[in-house]
C-alpha cells in the first residue's frame, strides 16, 4: 500500500503532460527554438504555444511570461532583478527559503537594506503590520507570498499591493503553491511580478516562470543570448516548458471540483485529528488552501511521526520539503509565535485530486495507532 499525501512538495506528472512532452524528448521535435530552419521554427511555435497556455491560466499576455528553471529561480530573478543596489527590500517572515535566502544574499552582496514583515499567530500578514514596516523602512520592493507552502495560509495580496502602490513600492508575490489550487488573476492581485512552478500542478520539475507587469524594469540574472526577451539566457528547456504549458491548460479544468474534493478530505482528517489529545492544527481559523493541513501532536517529534507513517506506506512531510531534515523547527511556525517544542512536532498533510476518502480513512486509523504508541513509548510505558 502506498498513499501519497505530500502534494505541496510536488505532484506526480500528469499522464497527458508526459505524452505532450515526449516528442520533445525523443521524437522529431528536437530543433533549437532560436534556429531559423523548419525544425527551429516548429520548436519556437511549441515554446510560444506553452507561453500562451501559462499566460491564460493567470490572465496575462504571453509576452509577460518569462520561463525559468522553476520557482526558486523565478523568486531569485524577481528579487535580484528588481532591486537596485542600495534600495530597500522587505519580505514576509514566512516566505519560502528561495525568497528568504535570495533576500539575505542581496543584503550581503549589495548592502541592500532588508526588513521583515511579521505575521500574526495564524500566519497572516496584517495590513497594519505591512503599513508599519513600509513606513519605517526604506523600501523599493516588497515580497509577500500568495499561499504558504507549510500552513496553506492565503494572504490578501490584493489589499497589500494596494498599500504598496500608494507608497510607490513595487510588489512581488510567490504564487508557486497557490497555482492550480485557487483562481489567480495577475492584474487583480495588483503585483508587478509573480513566481510560478510547473511541478506543483502536474507538470515536470525544473521549469517555472516569472510573470511580470508590462513595462517592468528587470535586470537578468543569467547573461548570454537574447532568450526570454533578454531576461533569462540559455537554450530553453523545451520539453519541460511544453509540459508546463500542458499542465497549465489541464489544471484550469475542474478547479472548483478539485478544491472541494480536497477540502472534504482535509476536513474529515481534521475532524478526527482534533479528537486526539494534544493535537494542535495550525492556521485553522483563517483562509487556507483547501488541500493543506498542518498540525502537531504535543510530545511527539514530527520527524518521528513522519518516519512511522512512511514505514506504513503513507507519505507526508514535516514542514516544507526544503526545511525538513534540517533539525530546525519550521521558520513559519516560529514567525507565528509557536513554541519550539510544539513546532518540532509539525507534520504537513497535503492532498491532491488523486486522493480518496479511503486514503483518508487509512491515514486516520494509522495516525491514531501511531500517536498512541509513540506517546506510550515517550512516557516509558510499554
Ligand X SMILES: Cc1ncc(COP(=O)(O)O)c(C=O)c1O
In the complex, least distance from residue 320 CB atom to ligand X, rounded to whole angstroms: 6
Window of 67-75, 232-240, 274-282, 349-357 that interacts with ligand X by CB under 6 A: 67-75
In the complex, least distance from residue 339 CB atom to ligand X, rounded to whole angstroms: 24
What are the contacts of 164-171 at 24+ separation with CB within 8 A?
A: 164/130, 164/134, 165/190, 167/134, 167/135, 167/139, 169/90, 169/134, 169/139, 169/140, 169/141, 169/142, 170/82, 170/140, 170/141, 170/142, 170/216, 171/141, 171/142, 171/143, 171/144
- Residue 102 or 367 with smaller CB distance to ligand X: 102
Under rule CB under 6 A, residue 150 binds ligand X: no
Under rule CB under 6 A, residue 204 binds ligand X: no
- Residue 71 or 352 with smaller CB distance to ligand X: 71
Under rule CB under 6 A, residue 259 binds ligand X: no
Secondary structure letter of residue 151 according to DSSP: T
Under rule CB under 6 A, residue 145 binds ligand X: yes
- Is 109 annotated in the active site? no
Under rule CB under 6 A, residue 202 binds ligand X: no
> Which of 53, 98, 304, 324 forms a contact with ligand X (CB under 6 A)?
98
> 335 is written with which cell numbers?
514567525
Under rule CB under 6 A, residue 143 binds ligand X: no
> Which of 208, 220, 245, 329 forms a contact with ligand X (CB under 6 A)?
208
Under rule CB under 6 A, residue 70 binds ligand X: yes
d(CA 142, CA 155): 14
Under rule CB under 6 A, residue 177 binds ligand X: yes
In the complex, least distance from residue 74 CB atom to ligand X, rounded to whole angstroms: 8
In the complex, least distance from residue 184 CB atom to ligand X, rounded to whole angstroms: 13
CB 163 within 8 A of CB 130: yes
Under rule CB under 6 A, residue 71 binds ligand X: yes
CB 202 within 8 A of CB 13: yes
Residue with cell 496575462: 60
DSSP E strands, 141-216: 141-143, 170-174, 193-197, 208-212
- Residue 44 or 150 with smaller CB distance to ligand X: 150
- Residue 194 or 300 with smaller CB distance to ligand X: 194
d(CA 130, CA 166): 13
Rule CB under 6 A: which of 304-333 touch ligand X? Answer: 321
d(CA 143, CA 97): 13
CB 211 within 8 A of CB 58: yes
- Residue 5 or 279 with smaller CB distance to ligand X: 5
CB 40 within 8 A of CB 46: no
Under rule CB under 6 A, residue 203 binds ligand X: no
d(CA 305, CA 330): 16
SS3 at position 307: helix
Q: Which residues are catalytic?
A: 322
Binding stretches for ligand X (CB under 6 A): 70-72, 75, 96, 98, 145, 149, 174, 176-177, 197, 199, 208, 321
Amino acid at each position: 500500500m502506498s498513499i501519497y499525501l505530500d502534494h505541496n512538495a510536488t505532484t506526480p506528472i500528469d499522464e497527458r503532460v508526459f505524452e505532450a512532452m515526449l516528442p520533445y524528448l525523443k521524437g522529431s521535435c528536437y530543433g533549437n527554438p532560436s534556429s531559423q530552419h523548419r525544425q527551429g521554427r516548429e520548436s519556437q511555435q511549441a515554446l510560444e504555444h506553452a507561453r500562451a497556455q501559462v499566460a491564460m491560466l493567470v490572465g496575462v499576455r504571453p509576452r509577460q511570461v518569462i520561463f525559468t528553471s522553476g520557482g526558486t529561480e523565478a523568486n531569485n530573478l524577481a528579487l535580484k532583478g528588481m532591486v537596485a543596489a542600495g534600495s530597500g527590500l522587505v519580505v514576509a517572515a514566512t516566505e519560502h527559503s528561495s525568497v528568504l535566502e535570495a533576500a539575505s544574499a542581496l543584503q550581503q552582496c549589495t548592502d541592500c537594506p532588508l526588513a521583515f514583515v511579521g505575521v500574526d499567530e495564524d500566519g497572516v500578514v496584517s495590513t497594519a503590520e505591512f503599513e508599519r514596516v513600509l513606513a519605517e523602512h526604506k523600501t523599493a520592493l516588497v515580497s509577500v507570498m500568495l499561499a504558504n507552502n507549510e500552513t496553506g495560509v492565503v494572504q490578501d495580496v490584493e489589499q497589500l499591493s494596494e498599500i504598496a502602490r500608494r507608497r510607490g513600492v513595487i510588489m512581488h508575490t510567490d504564487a508557486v503553491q497557490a497555482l492550480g489550487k485557487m483562481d489567480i488573476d495577475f492584474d487583480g492581485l495588483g503585483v508587478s511580478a509573480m513566481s510560478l512552478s510547473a511541478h506543483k500542478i502536474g507538470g515536470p520539475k525544473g521549469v517555472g516562470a516569472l510573470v511580470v507587469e508590462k513595462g517592468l524594469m528587470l535586470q537578468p540574472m543569467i547573461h548570454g543570448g537574447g532568450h526570454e526577451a533578454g531576461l533569462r539566457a540559455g537554450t530553453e528547456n523545451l520539453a519541460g516548458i511544453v509540459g508546463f504549458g500542458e499542465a497549465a491548460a489541464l489544471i484550469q479544468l475542474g478547479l472548483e471540483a478539485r478544491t472541494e474534493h480536497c477540502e472534504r478530505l482535509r476536513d474529515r482528517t481534521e475532524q478526527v485529528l482534533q479528537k486526539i489529545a494534544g493535537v494542535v492544527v495550525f492556521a485553522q481559523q483563517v483562509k487556507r488552501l483547501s488541500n493543506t493541513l498542518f498540525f502537531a501532536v504535543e510530545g511527539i517529534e514530527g520527524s518521528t511521526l513522519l518516519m512511522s507513517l512512511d514505514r506504513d506506506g503513507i507519505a507526508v512531510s514535516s514542514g516544507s520539503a526544503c526545511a525538513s531534515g534540517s533539525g530546525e523547527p519550521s521558520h513559519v511556525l516560529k514567525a507565528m509565535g509557536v513554541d519550539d517544542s510544539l513546532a518540532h512536532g509539525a507534520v504537513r498533510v497535503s492532498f491532491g485530486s488523486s486522493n480518496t476518502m479511503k486514503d483518508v480513512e487509512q491515514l486516520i486509523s494509522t495516525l491514531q495507532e501511531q500517536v498512541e504508541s509513540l506517546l506510550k513509548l515517550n512516557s516509558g510505558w510499554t
